[in-house]
Chain A
Amino acid sequence: MGNNLIKKILAKKLGHEVKVGEIIYIEPDLVMTHDHQGPMTIREFENIGADSLWNPDKVILVMDHRTPSQTLVAVENHQKLRKFARKYGVTKFFDVGEGVCHDLVAEKALVRPEMVYIATDSHTVTEGALGLFATGVGSSEMASIFATGKVWLKIPETIKVTLKGTLQKGVYGKDIALRLLEIIKTGGADYKVLEFGGAGIASVSAASRMSLCNMCLEMGAKTAIFPVDKVTVEYYKEKGVEVQELYPDEDGEYISEIIVDLDQLEPLIAFPFSPDNVRSVSQIGDEVYALNQSVIGTCTGARYEDLKVAAEILKGKQVRPGTRMLIVPATKDLMLRCTQEGIIETFLKAGAMVNVPCCGPCGGYGMAVLAEDESSITTGSRNFVARMGAPGAHIYLSNAATAAASAIEGKLTDPRKYLSDS
């Protein structure tokens, strides 16, 4: 039996074939921690007592969760991380305001196809969109990697997800993720890999792939991965980086296959309090789900394609009075581009607030917090109890187009009527 993508990448890196279930020890090509898990990582690294990092060039530090400088404790944590970077020679350091870690490592082309990338964040799986092995660990394990340069991994089983057809108007990678959550359910892909393929992937942009791979974590997946196809090659080419295409063997090893027909896929919404509690916008019909807030931000819906479609919908329109709208672009470079293209102006004229790039609204970190009886739609990835504030608050997860259309109407809204057919 041939290799699926993950086995192929790991076998190449180790120099020998690997078997599902086997334990391997491997040196990551890159590791990352941020201002949420970083302070604990530093504390544990100091507890180990090693006097240097195994390789400071392979370490990335990002200040993105409690930014910009939200509270005194947050600022002291940032200070700790800056000192740590100076002391141990970490130069891949992204300070307050640069953007969300999962977007930065891709935007700056730090992560590349075929790498092994380990970070202290559950949504590290995002980077699998670009054809690498990416997964999350906790702070103590990262402290151990900092000291030793190695991590153990069990070679996981892989589920093949075949996409057929073409993504339709108003439908994005986020909707593929929600459809899969509906099928697989939270925890339904525990310890497994979701590998994407099929003719349909050609219509799924790198940005959409990132949101999709990200949310495979909510299914319990160890990681998710796309082949390195023309879309990925083009993504890196625009950054002046040349990468080689990479596909699984034709007889690759899979435990099952799930087929998603993109032609039939509609914009979807996850209702409280679980990402797998999914309904399509057309299922909502005449029922009114009023919203106090709409958020476009986080690592699952604040990339260029998301902000561009939101601006298309909001252009010349107004956010409904009584609904507050917050837009947080994923990175500073993206925010600059959106400023130059008039996208930010469109948001402000529509009555939306625009914040500095950060993770904030995903977990109610210093912004977009909800009171007990409030409701919000968000492009975030989680709608758990108390995720964005009070335990009784309702969170609806959607793509950016749905969040923008819903802001205009102050209720859950099908975005397709606001989009032209072109």
Chain B
Amino acid sequence: MNKSLNGKAFKFGDDVDTGQIIPGKYVVLTDPNELASHVFEDVAPEFKGKVEMGDIIIAGKNFGTGSSREHAPKAIKFSGISAVIAKSFARIFYRNAINIGLFAITLPQVDEIKENDQITINLNEGKVINHTQGKEYKFDLPHKVMLDIFAEGGIIPFTKKELNLK
């Protein structure tokens, strides 16, 4: 896929659950922009004032654990974040992220990346570039079945195309 994602790094720790990403009281909402206005409200209220289009979340292990709420990756994506790089993901969050067009990859070296480092993810070459530190890391692309969904912009446009719906 000939695409690259660019932005500054926002660091998070281990086991950030979907309730920290978007508190349970907002799960009654469906509008992604409204969800984004409450992203990380309880645990990192300063986040949404600082995030700019394209920025990248860098997290520890088990990111997105807990509830299956797709509201979580949607709140992240519509806040401006283009991708999440984590040591590991909870399964449903990872699947949801790709399904709604938020790129997500695992990288064992996330601890080396610092807050505000300028990061590029090169999807074509499977490379994470840390411009601030002058480092590069290879990563494994998601499985083809997921890349195909991501390439269409998510599972909704993918399914529309599959069913020949406009």
Contact = CB atoms under 8 A, between A and B. Distances in A.
Prevailing SS type, chain A contact patch: loop
Interface string A56-96: 00000000011000010110010000000000000000000
Contact of B99 (A136, A141, A191, A387): A141
Contact of B68 (A37, A77, A363): A37
A19 interface: no
Contacts of B37: none
Interface stretch (B4-12, B14-22, B119-127, B133-141): B14-22
Pick from A49, A74, A148 the residue with the most CB of B within 10 Å: A49
Given A49-B160, A50-B165, A385 B20 contact: yes
A385 B42 contact: yes
B29 A73 contact: yes
B99 to A, nearest CB: 5
Nearest to A51: B165
Interface stretch (A39-47, A243-251, A408-416): A39-47
A23 B62 contact: no
A246 B165 CA distance: 42
B61 interface: yes
Interface residues of B, number: 44
B91 A39 contact: no
A31 to B, nearest CB: 13
Contacts of B73: 138
B53 interface: no
User: Size class of A's contact patch?
Assistant: 35 or more
Interface in A162-220: 186-187, 190-191, 218, 220
Contacts of A147: 159, 163
Interface of A: 23, 36-37, 39-40, 43-44, 47-50, 65-66, 71, 73-74, 77, 120-122, 124, 136-141, 143-144, 147-148, 152, 154, 186-187, 190-191, 218, 220, 222, 274, 363-365, 382, 384-387, 391
Interface of B: 15, 17, 19-20, 23-25, 27-30, 42-43, 61-62, 65-71, 73, 88-92, 95-96, 99-100, 143, 145, 154-156, 158-160, 162-163, 165-166
9 contacts: A36-B69, A73-B28, A74-B28, A122-B92, A140-B155, A187-B88, A190-B91, A220-B62, A365-B24
